[in-house]
């Protein structure tokens, strides 16, 4: 389906590149590997050649004699650097070209996806942070790194993204899959409603479920606009992210993103906002009673979009976070708001901000109870159902 150029640089995680090649080929892609000198310390040229079924390039001058680095750089639909070492990312940021991998990365016009892997201290170092910022500003796409078990007994992000997550990011960037040609708008995260210039009302939404849905839709080929409140989770690869703070900004951003084939409203929008936002910080007056904050109802973004007369997406999906009578409330909400589906979850436990979710899919046809699943799996199932519904 696509021609991928895979650059494998030096990291203990380089063995995972073999699994990535296997998955990419199974998905129908052709993979041409480039192995850096550092990468060759962790994975052999023979293993990469065997699994990719392609010639592995590891030397600038040999490649020059055979096909030329410019042709190597121009042929692929996408260049993937996995694992991407701190050293190679620094070279990319600086525009160095002293070996085959860095030369091809400087010469290519194809989109580039990097999957970093390094020690957490190296990832957090201001030099790496600055390099990543420079690469992002030039349109280089990022997947991972993740937190979790590493070769060293240290914690923090630095671990290479898992091969299926890297493949999902690849598919998202290629816009391949059953949702190719479709546009989906997703809302995610909390909103912040200003009280005064320094204070705001917020909630505990992490954005994990909404961001995972955006990533899963993109992995099925959709063009995704993710309208997100303030969150700490990274932007999904291959997704257009619009950052907002308040509910009113979120509504405006969603309307600006239309038309769309589907819309998924996973954000935890604040129902109320302070009526008057002063231009000065509210003072604590000694002896005086604390101020009262008057609240005004925010627009309901889901209901507004679901009830539009023009440019209503063909499929509008809302969420319902409930702590009791989850399904009846969701059925009621579906009708009241005018949306097509409601994904209902019981948030009485540790769902908000947590890694797992147990949901019920409420549609016109009835109710499906899904088992407790990682949020990424809930997202994949929902994206698959959306693709089937739009087909």
Catalytic residues: 203
**Residue 369, annotated ligand binder?**
no
Stretch that binds ligand C5P, among 61-69, 151-159, 176-184, 267-275 (CB under 6 A): 267-275
Token pair, residue 226, equals 């993710």
Q: Is 269 in the site for ligand C5P (CB under 6 A)?
A: yes
Smallest gap from residue 234 Cβ to ligand C5P (A): 21
The binder of ligand C5P chosen from 29, 319, 341, 387 (CB under 6 A): 319
Interaction with ligand C5P in 178-207: which residues (CB under 6 A)? Answer: 187
Q: Is 214 in the site for ligand C5P (CB under 6 A)?
A: no
Cα gap 88→84, rounded to integer Å: 6
Name the residue with the smallest CB distance to ligand C5P: 301
Q: Is 300 in the site for ligand C5P (CB under 6 A)?
A: yes
Q: Is 318 in the site for ligand C5P (CB under 6 A)?
A: yes
Token pair, residue 52, equals 């990719």
Cα gap 82→338, rounded to integer Å: 44
DSSP string, 58-124: --HHHHHHHT-HHHHHHS-SEEEEEEE-HHHHHHHHHT--SSHHHHHHHH--S-EEEEE---HHHHH
Smallest gap from residue 247 Cβ to ligand C5P (A): 5
Q: Is 302 in the site for ligand C5P (CB under 6 A)?
A: yes
Cα gap 90→116, rounded to integer Å: 11
Smallest gap from residue 337 Cβ to ligand C5P (A): 7
Show the binding pattern over residues 229-248: x = contacts ligand C5P (CB under 6 A), - = does not.
Answer: ------------------x-
Stretch that binds ligand C5P, among 75-83, 132-140, 216-224, 266-274 (CB under 6 A): 266-274
Q: Is 320 in the site for ligand C5P (CB under 6 A)?
A: yes
Q: Select from 144, 72, 66 the least CA-distant residue to 105.
A: 72
| Cβ proximity to ligand C5P, 3 vs 307, nearer residue | 307
Stretch that binds ligand C5P, among 48-56, 73-81, 165-173, 315-323 (CB under 6 A): 315-323
Q: Is 351 in the site for ligand C5P (CB under 6 A)?
A: no
| Cβ proximity to ligand C5P, 135 vs 251, nearer residue | 251
| Cβ proximity to ligand C5P, 22 vs 248, nearer residue | 248
| Cβ proximity to ligand C5P, 123 vs 319, nearer residue | 319
Element (H, E) at 342: strand 341-346
Smallest gap from residue 203 Cβ to ligand C5P (A): 10
Evaluate whether 15 touches 43 at the Cβ level (below 8 Å). Answer: yes
How far is CA 210 from its chain centroid?
9
Smallest gap from residue 297 Cβ to ligand C5P (A): 8
Q: Select from 269, 274, 260 the least CA-distant residue to 223.
A: 260
Token pair, residue 367, equals 């109710």
Element (H, E) at 256: helix 247-257
| Cβ proximity to ligand C5P, 169 vs 267, nearer residue | 267
DSSP string, 119-179: -HHHHHSHHHHHHHHHHHHTT-EE---B-S--SSS--SS-BPPPHHHHHHHHHHHHT-STT
- Tell me how far apart the terminal alpha carbons of the chain are, to the nearest angstrom: 21
**Residue 300, annotated ligand binder?**
yes
**Residue 77, annotated ligand binder?**
no
| Cβ proximity to ligand C5P, 177 vs 207, nearer residue | 207
Stretch that binds ligand C5P, among 4-12, 26-34, 166-174, 261-269 (CB under 6 A): 261-269
Q: Fill in the DSSP letter of residue 221.
A: T
Evaluate whether 298 touches 250 at the Cβ level (below 8 Å). Answer: no
Residue 46, helix vs strand vs coil: helix
Give binding residues as ranges: 271, 281, 299-302, 319, 333, 337
**Which residues are near ligand C5P by CB under 6 A?**
187, 247, 265, 267, 269, 271, 298, 300-302, 318-320
Binding residues for CTP: 271, 281, 299-302, 319, 333, 337
């Amino acid at each position: 389906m696509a021609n991928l150029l895979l650059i494998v640089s030096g990291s203990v995680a380089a063995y995972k590149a073999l699994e990535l090649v296997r998955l990419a080929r199974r998905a129908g892609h052709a993979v041409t590997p480039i192995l850096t000198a550092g990468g060759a310390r962790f994975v052999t040229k023979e293993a990469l050649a065997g699994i990719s079924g392609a010639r592995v390039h590891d030397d600038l001058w040999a490649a020059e004699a055979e096909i030329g680095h410019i042709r190597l750089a121009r042929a692929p639909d996408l260049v993937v650097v996995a694992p991407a070492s701190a050293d190679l990312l620094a070279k990319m940021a600086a525009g160095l070209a002293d070996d085959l991998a860095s030369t091809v990365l400087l010469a290519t016009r194809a989109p580039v996806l990097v999957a970093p892997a390094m020690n957490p201290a190296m990832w957090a170092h201001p030099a790496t942070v600055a390099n990543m910022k420079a690469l992002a500003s030039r349109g280089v796409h990022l997947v991972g790194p993740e937190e979790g078990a590493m070769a060293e007994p240290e914690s923090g992000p630095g671990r290479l993204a898992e091969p299926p997550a890297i493949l999902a990011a690849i598919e998202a960037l290629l816009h391949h899959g059953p949702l190719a040609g479709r546009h989906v708008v997703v809302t995610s995260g909390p909103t912040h409603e200003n009280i005064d210039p320094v204070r705001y009302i917020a909630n505990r939404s992490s954005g994990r479920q909404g961001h995972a849905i955006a990533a899963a839709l993109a992995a099925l080929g959709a063009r995704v606009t993710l309208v997100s409140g303030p969150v700490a989770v990274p932007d999904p690869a291959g997704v257009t992210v619009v950052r907002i703070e308040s509910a009113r900004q979120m509504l405006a951003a969603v309307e600006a993103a239309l038309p769309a084939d589907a819309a998924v409203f996973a954000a935890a929008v604040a129902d109320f906002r302070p009526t008057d936002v002063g231009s000065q910080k509210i003072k604590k007056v000694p002896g005086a009673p604390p101020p009262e904050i008057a609240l005004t109802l925010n627009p309901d973004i889901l209901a507004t979009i679901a009830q539009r007369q023009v440019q209503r997406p063909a499929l509008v999906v809302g969420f319902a976070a409930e702590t009791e009578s989850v399904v009846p409330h969701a059925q009621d909400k579906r009708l009241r708001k005018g949306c097509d589906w409601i994904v209902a979850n019981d948030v009485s436990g540790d769902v908000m901000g947590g890694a797992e979710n147990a949901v019920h899919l409420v549609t016109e046809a009835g109710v499906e109870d899904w088992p407790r699943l990682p949020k990424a799996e809930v997202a994949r199932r929902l994206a698959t159902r959306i693709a089937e519904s739009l087909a």
